[in-house]
Structure 1
């Protein structure tokens, strides 16, 4: 699929995955203010011996079926060892997304487009979204693994992986597999801002190859925004509700 094509919900519904691009602008002051958030990420404290240098922040958002986006308090993140061989069975608490990032109009627009696509594929519902801002950094003398856990699913219902940008790096090929099958169903090295993969996390698995520096004299990096989708059955049971909206916050 040409990365210039818009993402299609029908591909997610029929095949379990879609590759394309969000139909949003990636230039101008609003975009540059938004992408500056990746310069403000902090080192991931949970990597241990993993062959990866990674900076990140994390946030949670309640996406109501009426289109409202409600920021949630709390940045706890847990995956079982069965889901994540490298980092499972530990409660990870990440540094939160900054207020500047949360109130960016581009942030809300990316979430709205992503939620709209998943709702078209899966049916309208309320979602708890986990939002990861991640920068994977390769040093001149050492590559870096964007996904040290290897081929995996993430333990959610859907996952949207958005490329934000690349800087002096090569590699980072994404591969999509149907769960239980060896054949690669789709592979792509995303290069365009807001090029994305949207996956049914219950039926598909994915992997990403290491990135390396393009120029041996300087570091390189790959920035992504990853959105996890989990269905909310009862809004009263969602932890950290603020009863405010991102759209209202962005006006101030």
Structure 2
């Protein structure tokens, strides 16, 4: 697995330019795979980690079936990546309206997930993109794999908090897979609530990036296309904040 360098930096450069000009960018799967040097076998191995997620009791209290884990890393300017001690997840003031300053406790990433080469390549690429937003010597990276499940009689909310910020610098959402799902429309808003981008992440490997300081975001509910079977939407949310 090769990491992005030289001419392969093209999609990341496009992301940097779009973030500075518009506050968001949608990277297509082929471009992401070029950046990360990922083939189909490596992608399938990475996506298999979503089978090891555990229930999110906070989302369950709001009526949404969601599974997740949580991990923290430190990324240096030179690209050195180090896992950090597992702690609670606290979002700062003026971010998530449901959980501002709440110390939520989630299960950590499995050791296999935390050591994934695909994850490391993704984080390093995002660090290079985020450099256009802040000249940081190091980044605090938070990793949130999610699986949202909907039944015929119960739509699921990928973002039960509604339109919100995460209180970070760069926020990204990578579609891992979706099955039997309709809905799940991602929208990026300006500070005044104006829609800047609306898209549905349909193809695995599609990556939505946003300048979290200049935009808000939200995802519409998902429903089963075939009501006899559950709907599933798997994503990886990764955020970067200067250390």
Same fold at TM > 0.5: yes
Deviation at 1:213, TM superposition (A): 0.7
Q: Which residue of the other structure, out of 140, 150, 163, is the alignment partner of 2:152?
A: 140
Please identify runs of 4+ aligned residues in structure 1 that moved more than 4 A. Answer: none
Cα distance change, pair 219–49 in 1 and its aligned pair in 2 (3 A): same
The structural deviation recorded for 1:109 is 1.5
Aligned residue runs from structure 1 range 70-109, under 5 A: 70-80=82-92, 82-109=94-121
Which protein is richer in helix relative to its size?
Answer: 2
> Which residue number in structure 2 is paired with residue 67 of structure 1?
79
Equivalent of residue 205 in structure 1, options 216, 224, 228? 216
- Is the Cα–Cα contact under 8 Å of residues 58 and 75 in structure 1 kept in the other structure? no
- Secondary structure, in 3 states, of the residue corresponding to 1:199? strand
Structure 1, unaligned runs of 5 or more: 233-252
Greater alpha carbon shift after TM alignment, 27-36 vs 132-141: 27-36
In structure 2, which of residues 154, 170, 183 is the aligned counterpart of residue 171 of structure 1? Answer: 183
Alpha-carbon distance in structure 1 between the residues aligned to 2:79 and 2:94? 33
Match of 1:19 among 13, 22, 26: 26
Q: Secondary structure at the match of 2:236?
A: strand
Superposed displacement of residue 48, structure 1: 4.9
RMSD after superposition: 1.8
Moved more, 111-120 or 206-215: 111-120
- 110, 114, 125: which one aligns with 1:113: 125
| Aligned equivalents of 1:162, 1:27: Cα separation in 2 | 16
Q: Does 1:216 align with 2:223?
A: no
TM-score (norm 2): 0.87
Q: Which runs of 5+ in 2 are unaligned?
A: 1-9
Equivalents in 2 of 1:14, 1:125: separation in Å? 23
Q: Distance in 2 between matches of 1:53 and 1:225?
A: 16
Which is worse superposed, 209-218 or 42-51?
Answer: 42-51
Displacement, 1:92?
0.8
1:112 deviates by 1.7
